[in-house]
Structure 1
Amino acid sequence: MTAADLQQYIGVIDRMKSLLNSADFDQVFALLTSELPKSKQFLLKMELKRMAQPCNYFIDLRGHVDGDVSPYEFMGKTHYMDKNAIKVFERGLKQYGSYTIGLYEEVLNTENNFRVMHRKEAAQRVKTALQQSSTRKADTDTDTLPEQYAKIIHFGSYTARQDERMNFAIEVEIEYQGRRFDASTSDLSVSGCKVKLTKPVQINPGESIKLFFTGLEQEFMLGLADGVMYKLIENHSKAANHYLRLQRLVSADGDDKQFADFLQRFITGNKRRYKVNLDSVCQTVQTKGYEQFYVPRISALPVFIAVKDGQPIPKFAFTTEYSRSVWHYFLDEQHQAVFDSLLNVRRLKQLLQQTSEVKSTIIYSFTHAAKGKLFFYSATTEELAESEQLKQLFLGFGASKSSWRVFHCNLLRTSAAMAEMPDTIPEQNQSKPAGAHSALVQQLIKDLRYIVNLTDITSTDNTFWYQSYKVDPQQLKQLANFGHKKRADTPPCEAVAAQYVNLRSESRYLYKTAVQIVQPEGDAEINGHSRDFSSKGLQLETTLPVQFEKGDVLLISLPDMQKISSRFELNALPYEIMAISKSRSIMNLRAVEGEQPHNGRLFFQQLIQNNRAKLTPAEESPKYQGLAPALRNMYLNAQNNFALFLHRKGIRYEIDTVAQSTDCHSLQNLLSLSSKNAAQMDLAPILRNNAASLHFAQQLKQMKRFDSARAYELFIALPATIETAPTELLCRYDYEFDTEQLKQQFVLDALQNGSLFCFKLMLSRTGRPDTDYIAAEMNYISTYAIHKAKALEEELWSVAGVIDIVDISTEVPWRYGAKVDPIKQKQIQLDQIALQLKQPVT
């Protein structure tokens, strides 16, 4: 739909529609726009080119317009339009000369379209509300957003406790450097305690102090006249009180064993009376619970790299439902992953040499099939920045290929030690202690040193912009410099699937059988084969990419199955597409039930019932038992991701919880800049205009758990210099721009006038929590505080969606043709953040 800023030139656009593919286009366009600025001429030409792109979308206005909808045949496809839309469509065919994007948008924006009508009504309501509220807000600061502070979950952070802590207050005295201070305990365990003071004491963490249990000595004969030695672990203040967290030092001669035995008996005998401190276990439940929501929905494909004899060797790829398509993309004709050439020594060294904490780059890639082989071509931002000519050649030519992909690449350090999960409940209360990984798993992970996250950030919109780069056909041979060489000794890299709760309504079974998709008359049948099936659906892989979309209904036949079944007619069975891979060759299908029972469902039900023992479940046992949890732990302990969680509270959805790693994410830093409280994270800047309820929540309501993630883009502009803190962030989402051209103008202006940060937000729906994963901790909490267990359970069951966030700040400038070096721009951004974080918060 043409942007508002171009509406004044709608006459020029209408005049040029019929000349879009004409040889006179440039001449007529120059005459009609001769008095316009060059920038407006550029935007108009880009808009016309976009509108002239061929379109293959089905038009289905059933339930979307105020009118009677009927089938309409065009070019072998059946569209569903009302009389008003048909008039617009046929008139547009004469204007455009063919079915184009511009014509598609005109049909979808007729006056009787419910979406158009709703948009106009909503705009009027907003206008009215603004007029009514302007008087009420005249005396207030309208530029100030109300704070929306979030609860922060730290991924991979677990508090390990060797023994139970009891909430117990008793008088003690602290002796430090010959001076004594009165204090009292806040909690107590065999190995340590927390003491409370009314006045601060200058003691550095790691220093030793002596503790006298004066209160206990009045009731028990402990023989502690010389006190007990403790080490300071941490000190902090809360309100008017000051707290010291202490660890008991075990004496070499064992003189303190009697005191330790006393504490153990005392805590065991009194924990029902004084309550066990459950803070650490509750924190662990929250961390593990949110991790189990997040891990199955990470958009990145973590590739684990071992180092042997100084050479990096990709060993494993940790796959989920959302990243499996990335794994399939990098498989060659022999189904071997090409990560050894994609993540070669040179590229890894470039990442490691980056001065920033986050080591990342952008990888551009496409493939070429010839003589039964699949050839990969890829280039990083750093490699393309070396030559403007090669940059334009690679981006322009690559984006014209259907296999074009853009990946965000993030390098993390790891080690086998990160695979261990610490004990999260006191040791004596575990039904079975958490042991180390098996010898086989330890052998498999011992050489792993790096993790490379590959996140697919490709979209139709950014591909369109890359296609605008000029390509000189005479220079195409130079692309050979970016080709992956074929190797006979390619080291194998195995896919390891993440293990999490299975939310499918029924079991699936692996089975390969021929499948034919029945096409309209005149079109050849599309052949393929099943990958797995259940009674209600199947997964189909076609020999060639298809043009179908999610929601389309296919008629499929099972010729081989028909040979073994005379009871059921297995031809022209209706199945709906529930999901389709980015390669457009793998589809998840669900049986479409009508008035009569679905023959396919009945056939597969009988097949499963009679052959259950012979069929192989799709959820097979892992090849290496325990490897997936080990890789999961390594990933969570190394990752530097940032995620938002949506909670359903009644009929409303709220974003009030964020998850982060120990390393600061760039968006986390930006939100810290705008916060008035440095100890908290204010989400108000990115949730302006009710983004959570009006966009994310509305999208979430329409999604199923198995739907692909819905992508958004967030742009944050900062001025060149910051004079005060907190800093106001200029935030815009992609849906706030009417056209790509307006988005481009915002990006170019932000880069010219200051710094620009860009993020891709991927929203997905969650399922139920994996209660088995946190069962031990929940049972422990329930033993002492059932109300806390219920509160934690309610919190986890209310999680409805997760938003995974990826920094794409280095990709956006080249996408929109900015004349900047993304690498230098990135460093400017990092310096800008560092400068602002030093600003005092007032």
Structure 2
Amino acid sequence: MKSLVQTSDFDQMFTMLTSDLPKSKQFLLKMELKRLAQPCDYFIDLRGHVDGDVKPFPFQGKTHYMDEQAIKIFEQGIKQYGTFTLGLYEEVMNTDNNYRVMHRKETEQRIRKALNASESELEPEQQAEPTNQHQARFFQFASYINRIEERMNYSITVEVMLDDGKKYSAQTTDISVQGCKLKLAKAIDVELNSNLGIFFRELEQEYTLDRQTPIRYKVLEVSPLDSKYQQLRLKRLDGTSEQDIEFSNFLDKFIRGNKRRYKLNLDNTLDAVVIKGYEQFFVPRMSALAVFVSVHEGKSNPQCVLTTENSRPSFHYFQDELQRSVLPQVLNAKRLKQLLQQPSTQRSSQLFCFTHASKGKLYFYSATAQELAEQPELSALFLGFGASKKSWKVFQLSLQPTSLKFSQLQFQIPGTTAKEQTKGSPHLLDGYLKNLRFIVSMADISSEQSNSWYQQIRFDKAQLSQLNRFAHAKLAKLPFCEAIPVKYVNLRFEARYLYKTTVELFDSAQQALPQSFSRDFSPNGMQIESMLPLHINKGDIVRLNLPDLQKISNKYTLSHLPYEVMAVSKSGTIMNLKALSTDEGHAGKQFFQLLIQNNRSKLTVAEEPVKHPGLAPALRNMYVKALDSFPFYIHRKGIRYDLKAVAAGSQLNSLHLLLQQLNADKEHLIIEPLIKHNAVSLHFANQLKNMKRQDPPTTYELYIQLSDNWQQQPEQGFRCNYDYEFSTEPEKQAFFQQAIASGSLVLAYKIWLSRTGRPDSDYISQELDYISQYAIHKAKMIEEELWSVVGVGELIDITDEVLLRFAIPPEQRAEQHQMRQHRITG
């Protein structure tokens, strides 16, 4: 009846078709039909609301944005209604691929299942199903598999001859000049590392190859395919005969001529580009300070630090009044030896620190958990007094070995050489990197909540002089430890342009400051330099005039512009300013936007100088290889937020080992326990929505309780709670006390959640270009996957610190440590 509403015989047809309905229902139905037939002038914009490619769709002078499914419904509705009506609008906004509709249907389905079946009515396999639903892709950083040559997917029948002279028929799955993969009957016994020969009968017949002897191969891997077949990975043995060389030349030409027809095997390139893509999200947002320790002539020394926006405050914390790093004193040889004496999988500790300012000098005090355990009479004194200081910090230390060979983790595109892909010579850095032996990761795990527990510790003030044994002496000369910032992509949300112009500066009291000049500008800020030191601090509000720029603008008033001081140089002559938002709009911001828009080709982009070309990427390679934290990634698709990827370095975190025990799939981890109580879809998602890329990370703590039967009954035996689920701090302590009293193993983790910026496309451009030549759809899928990442998290084990913080007795802490060794880390 929708198409009849506007016709003259609608009432007659309606009465005839609804004669069996009550009058009340007839009335409601007619009103609804007339409502749906009302003309509509709404714009339709489905961008970000549907699972489909949205494109412009002009209609009667307006441009709507719809995908193919919506366009089909819209065109059918126009034929049915005769015009754009409210009913048609509602149909288009409620298509099956609309995220809102999909979410509602999923919710209704879950409710329906809950109402129709109780848990006791389900079969055991069905009860285990929810645990297996939430899996995250698992991959290891820096695990690139290089191929020196291209491998083509090519299936032909070959004849395999074993060492005993017996011959069998087999099928190739891919082939390269120096290797191939075969599908062979499982019943045939083939030993690893044995040699065999292959006759390529089909190639010989088709291309008239005259071979009397087989091509010799070595068996590198034997793996089952299914119940009937096994797969052999073979490497060709060196052949120096004229026939072998001739066959190599034939294969090379054959693959080059047919690789677009049969398609190349891109598995290793696809894996590498995904791993590199996720690496470039994590490293610029890592929260732990990576300290690189060199060993030369038997002496250790922190040589440099890899810093990010998140970890830079930790580096500044360990600088004295002369801006010298005291890390060589804090990470001294004795403490490094303590860490090295622990098992290779557990080289970690806690570092407790505070500072004391006196007569213009800054004194540092620090102690490790092991040092306090060796001097229990001073433990309460150090922790209680130190926590009363504003400078109190707790760091989680972790030590991992490293080597120069890890500095050049370069993925090699098949058919090229590493030299073709590497900019500059990595050998120039060898002198700087050759003595690096260890990486100490220092994660700041302190918080107001945790500090409050240490502040409750009672101590004898009369013994404060005893703390001098934890003080670091003031040295006239300290070994130099420099900060190397991560260099991936320009992470600023807008470009800065070099430009020098006069700036008249006024402080908050409207007092004129020494005349300054701009060094660079962007719409939202600028950097200025003064001839004399400016007595301005970070956070101050200043106002400035731009007299020279005012001469070229009559549209904007470039005087008394409010800016916030974001940073001041040590000399006090250089300041970074950020435009303050006003109700009327910031005239300076509007002016610079227009200036950049009209003069972009004439302006010079400000590039940050690089002190050691290639050093930051080399240190980054070494760090991701030694990483022992638990990176994870949150993707957004429409309105849904999901934890879809988890990463690891060469050293697995205790949580990796724990989750691996829930399933045997090496490529995925079951993350069901971590996302209980809608942690990702609600709490993390709401946090990320309110964050910007440049915001500091939000921190959480995750507490896990494992009972003896947690592997058999993970739903009951694997209990996870986030810190925000507890209303008070004593409730957290009670959780640990009760869990330990029941004989359960307890674990605690610190989480840093950061908003990501755009992917660094340049970092993976070569790999994507290569993939696009042969499988452009796969390259697009990878780009879509990486562009959907909106959040990156880092998780580290802080169990020992939490047990100490909540005053768990030493004997119970030792018991928990042994239990953790037995159940998880081994």
Sort the TM-score into its range (normalised by shorter chain): 0.7 to 0.9
- Which residue is 1:137 aligned to? 118
- Asked whether 1:792 is paired with 2:782, we answer yes
- Which residue is 2:669 aligned to? 681
- Asked whether 1:833 is paired with 2:823, we answer yes
| Contact 2:139 2:667 (C-alpha < 8 Å) held by counterparts | no
Whole-Å separation in 1 of the counterparts to 2:711 and 2:597: 70
Question: CA separation of 1:437/1:306 partners in 2, compared to 1, >3 Å: closer, same or farther?
Answer: farther
TM-score, with normalisation over the residues of structure 1?
0.74
- Asked whether 1:622 is paired with 2:610, we answer yes
| Contact 2:561 2:587 (C-alpha < 8 Å) held by counterparts | no
Whole-Å separation in 1 of the counterparts to 2:255 and 2:526: 57
- Which residue is 2:765 aligned to? 775
SS of structure 2 residue aligned to 1:772: helix
- Which residue is 1:211 aligned to? 198
- Asked whether 1:668 is paired with 2:656, we answer yes
- Which residue is 1:348 aligned to? 336
Whole-Å separation in 2 of the counterparts to 1:197 and 1:770: 43
C-alpha deviation, 1:235, in angstroms: 2.7
Q: Give the unaligned 5+ runs of structure 1.
A: 1-125, 549-553, 580-585, 838-842
Whole-Å separation in 2 of the counterparts to 1:587 and 1:809: 40
- Which residue is 1:495 aligned to? 483
Deviates most, 136-145 or 229-238: 136-145
Question: CA separation of 1:365/1:143 partners in 2, compared to 1, >3 Å: closer, same or farther?
Answer: farther
Q: What amino acid sits opposite 1:751 in the alignment?
A: I
Q: Which of 366, 369, 378 pairs up with 1:378?
A: 366
Whole-Å separation in 2 of the counterparts to 1:187 and 1:616: 48
Deviates most, 346-355 or 566-575: 566-575
SS of structure 2 residue aligned to 1:385: helix
Q: How does 1:214-229 map to 2 (within 5 A)?
A: 214-229=201-216
- Asked whether 1:197 is paired with 2:187, we answer no
Q: Which of 309, 313, 331 pairs up with 1:325?
A: 313
Deviates most, 437-446 or 652-661: 437-446
- Which residue is 1:161 aligned to? 147
Whole-Å separation in 2 of the counterparts to 1:606 and 1:635: 42
Q: What amino acid sits opposite 1:640 in the alignment?
A: D
SS of structure 1 residue aligned to 2:374: coil
- Which residue is 1:804 aligned to? 794
- Which residue is 2:257 aligned to? 269
Question: CA separation of 1:623/1:537 partners in 2, compared to 1, >3 Å: closer, same or farther?
Answer: same
Backbone CA RMSD of aligned residues = 4.0
- Asked whether 1:298 is paired with 2:283, we answer no
Deviation per residue, 1:749-788 (Å, 9 max, x gap) = 2233222111111111111111111111111111111111
- Which residue is 2:580 aligned to? 591
C-alpha deviation, 1:261, in angstroms: 1.3
- Which residue is 2:66 aligned to? none
C-alpha deviation, 1:200, in angstroms: 5.6
Whole-Å separation in 2 of the counterparts to 1:509 and 1:750: 60
C-alpha deviation, 1:371, in angstroms: 1.7
Q: How does 1:114-133 map to 2 (within 5 A)?
A: 133=114
Q: Which of 751, 762, 766 pairs up with 1:761?
A: 751
Q: What amino acid sits opposite 2:322 in the alignment?
A: Q
- Which residue is 1:639 aligned to? 627
- Which residue is 2:24 aligned to? none
C-alpha deviation, 1:210, in angstroms: 3.0
SS of structure 2 residue aligned to 1:348: helix
Deviation per residue, 1:266-310 (Å, 9 max, x gap) = 111111221111111111110111111111111111111111001
C-alpha deviation, 1:562, in angstroms: 8.7
Whole-Å separation in 1 of the counterparts to 2:390 and 2:503: 28
Whole-Å separation in 2 of the counterparts to 1:815 and 1:446: 40
Q: Which of 215, 218, 232 pairs up with 2:219?
A: 232
Deviates most, 230-239 or 153-162: 230-239
Whole-Å separation in 1 of the counterparts to 2:761 and 2:596: 33
Whole-Å separation in 2 of the counterparts to 1:242 and 1:162: 25
Q: Which has the larger radius of gyration?
A: 2
How many residues end up aligned between the 2 structures?
688
Whole-Å separation in 2 of the counterparts to 1:754 and 1:261: 65
Question: CA separation of 1:515/1:825 partners in 2, compared to 1, >3 Å: closer, same or farther?
Answer: farther
| Contact 1:510 1:616 (C-alpha < 8 Å) held by counterparts | no
| Contact 2:272 2:411 (C-alpha < 8 Å) held by counterparts | no
Q: Which of 345, 349, 356 pairs up with 1:357?
A: 345
Seq. identity, %: 39
SS of structure 1 residue aligned to 2:730: helix
Q: What amino acid sits opposite 1:163 in the alignment?
A: E
C-alpha deviation, 1:829, in angstroms: 4.3
Q: How does 1:681-720 map to 2 (within 5 A)?
A: 681-719=669-707
Q: Give the unaligned 5+ runs of structure 2.
A: 1-106, 552-556, 569-574
| Contact 1:591 1:601 (C-alpha < 8 Å) held by counterparts | no
- Asked whether 1:507 is paired with 2:496, we answer yes
Question: CA separation of 1:455/1:588 partners in 2, compared to 1, >3 Å: closer, same or farther?
Answer: farther
Whole-Å separation in 2 of the counterparts to 1:473 and 1:587: 43
Q: Which of 370, 378, 398 pairs up with 1:390?
A: 378
SS of structure 1 residue aligned to 2:800: coil
| Contact 1:300 1:456 (C-alpha < 8 Å) held by counterparts | yes
- Which residue is 1:730 aligned to? 719
SS of structure 1 residue aligned to 2:670: coil
C-alpha deviation, 1:175, in angstroms: 3.6
C-alpha deviation, 1:591, in angstroms: 2.1
Whole-Å separation in 2 of the counterparts to 1:349 and 1:458: 25
| Contact 2:149 2:177 (C-alpha < 8 Å) held by counterparts | yes
Question: CA separation of 1:466/1:137 partners in 2, compared to 1, >3 Å: closer, same or farther?
Answer: same
Deviates most, 487-496 or 250-259: 250-259
- Asked whether 1:745 is paired with 2:734, we answer yes
Deviates most, 208-217 or 633-642: 208-217
C-alpha deviation, 1:445, in angstroms: 0.7
- Asked whether 1:260 is paired with 2:252, we answer no
Question: CA separation of 1:406/1:424 partners in 2, compared to 1, >3 Å: closer, same or farther?
Answer: same
Q: What amino acid sits opposite 2:170 in the alignment?
A: A
Q: What amino acid sits opposite 1:798 in the alignment?
A: S
